[in-house]
Amino acid sequence: MESGWFMLIVLAVMGGLIAYLGDKIGSKVGKRKIKLMGLRPKYTSILVTIMTGISIAVVTLGVMSVLSENARVALFGMNKLRQQQHVLEEQRDRLLAEADKLAREMQEKNDLLADNEVKLASQEEQLDGANDRLRLTLLDLEQVQAARDDASAQLGIVQTAFNQVHADLATAQGEIEELEHTKAGLTKTVAALDERNRLLNESMLTVREGTVLFRVGEVLSSSVLTAGQSQDETRSQLSGIMVNINNMIRQRLNITDEKAVLLYISPDEFERTVQELSNSPKASKLIRVTAAGNIITGEPALVHVNVYDNNLVYNRGREVYTEYFTSEEIESGTELQLLHFLHNVNRSAQADGILPDPLSGNVGALTAVEMFDTISRMKAYGNTGLTLRAVTTQNIFTAGPLRIEIRVEPNRR
């Protein structure tokens, strides 16, 4: 912008100066009547004026050419500019054409992308469906595998029991002969069994001269205490157990004196038991008090204290033992097979941790009604074979007794 003003000022000054000089020269030519190239003064003056105008134009163009590059280009490079303009217009047209082509290609790509997105969404839905079906299949597979594992475990148990039966077959012959002697007794009525039980209870062993009140090893009391308490608390609870046993003996002998002491335990053994319970980690313990010898009526009851971990051995509904019988085995003696089954149940329960009765060696017993009901149900499957399952009816701990129901099912093996 500053160079433009500068150029205008220069042009104005130069133009004014040339015009002034031309006027002076023209005036002198007119006054002196000077002739140039043989022309008359009038025409000479006109020629001077023309030359002055030409000089102004030439100086103007020269100054503009010197001071302005754009002016030089406009004066001397117009054709080149037109050629460049033509080339640029061709490039513009070509670029516009390429832009249109790219726009069409971009639209085609966008359309293709939209189609692909639709297809992708459809495939994702199909994939989600396939994943859901796969998850269901995996769940089914896990269930089938779990069922297979259970079946394999049961098969292993059955195979072990089967092998054990065959291995013990020789030794079991003697047991079978003994059980045959009780076969007739199992066919008697419930009243006959109760009568026999009453007679057996009345037939007490005698030692020296007197009635045996408790036999050696007989359990007088089974109680559960919490170990890990202070010695005072433990001593108090253990003393309470002894008081209850003393009261039981007193009532059994019809002794009315509440201060009568009929129970005796060694003080050292009592204190050892207190120390053992107090020093043990906090846990449930079974306290079993047993007769130290045959206790005769009229003599103090000398006892021992045994401490066991009172663990949960079976949950309610747990299958304790299972055995399969063929139709031939049932026909050979239903009562005999049931006794054999109960013997195996007793042995299995003891192996799992239930304490047996020291005198009978049993962990539980069935009533006569339950025995006859089971025998009747076994005979119903005498032609097809059957499966006996001993299932607990309540939670069973170390102390016992084992409470079971016997399920009789057709043999599907």
- pLDDT tens digit string along 213-241? 778 778 877 888 888 888 888 888 888 88
What DSSP designation does 138 have?
Answer: H
Helix H or strand E segment including 178: helix 169-181
Confidence (pLDDT) at 334: 84
- What token pair was written down for 119? 């297809």
pLDDT band at 413 (very low <50, low <70, confident <90, very high): low
Tokens coding 39: 């022309």
54-66 pLDDT, tens digit per residue, is 777 677 767 666 6
Check whether 357 has a pLDDT greater than 50. yes
Report the percent of the chain where pLDDT is more than 90: 0
Locate the domains of the chain by residue range: 218-310, 313-410
Predicted pLDDT at 196: 42
pLDDT at residue 202, rounded to an integer: 45
Cβ-based neighbour number of residue 340 at 10 Å: 20
- Whether pTM exceeds 0.75: no
The answer to whether 215 and 292 are in contact (CB under 8 A) is: no
Cβ atoms of residues 291 and 214 within 8 Å: yes
What is the reported pLDDT for 295? 74
- Fill in the amino acid letter for 67: L
In sequence order, the 6+-apart residues with CB closer than 8 A to the CB of 165 are 172
> What type of residue is 77?
G
Taking CB atoms within 8 Å and a gap of at least 24, the contacts of 368-373 are 368/190, 368/193, 368/194, 369/190, 370/406, 371/186, 371/338, 372/190
The answer, yes or no, to whether residue 287 has pLDDT greater than 50, is yes
Of 337, 372, 382, whose CA–CA distance to 176 is shortest?
337
Asked if 10 and 67 count as a contact pair (C-beta separation under 8 A), the reply is yes
Which pLDDT score, from 0 to 100, does residue 203 have? Answer: 41
Closest CA to 321 of 342, 337, 290: 342
- Say yes or no to pLDDT of 199 above 50: no
For range 117-126, the mean pLDDT:
84
Question: Are 29 and 41 in contact, with CB atoms under 8 Å apart?
Answer: yes
Whether pLDDT at 156 is above 50: yes
Question: What is residue 204's predicted lDDT score, i.e. its pLDDT?
Answer: 42
Q: Would the pLDDT of 187 be above 60? A: no
Question: What average pLDDT does range 100-127 have in this prediction?
Answer: 85
Quote the tokens at residue 49.
Answer: 């004026």
Summarised one tens digit per residue, pLDDT across range 125-155 is: 888 877 888 788 778 777 777 777 776 777 7
Q: What is the pLDDT of residue 252?
A: 80
Three-state DSSP at 401 gives coil
Q: Which residues pair with 406 in a beta bridge?
A: 390
- Per-residue pLDDT at 383 exceeds 50: yes
What is the structure's pLDDT at 325? Answer: 85
Q: Pick the residue with more confidence: 356 or 7?
A: 356
Check pLDDT > 60 for residue 205.
no
Q: What are phi and psi of 147, to 5 degrees?
A: -65, -40
Nearest 5 degrees, angle CA 405-CA 190-CA 348? 30
Pick the range with the lowest mean pLDDT from 82-96, 297-311, 332-346, 384-398. Answer: 297-311
3-state secondary structure of 354: coil
**Does pLDDT of 209 surpass 50?**
no
Using one digit for the tens of pLDDT, what is the confidence trace for 85-105? Answer: 788 888 888 888 888 888 888
pLDDT per residue over 65-86, tens digit each? 666 666 666 666 667 777 777 8
CA pair distance 325, 354, nearest whole angstrom: 26
pLDDT, position 206: 42
Concatenate the DSSP letters of all residues of 70-112 into one string: HHHHHHH-HHHHHHHHHHHHHHHHHHHHHHHHHHHHHHHHHHH
SS3 assignment, position 227: coil
Task: Give the mean pLDDT of 167-188.
Answer: 62
At how many degrees (to 10) do helices 2-32 and 41-67 cross? 170
The H or E element containing residue 153 is: helix 78-167
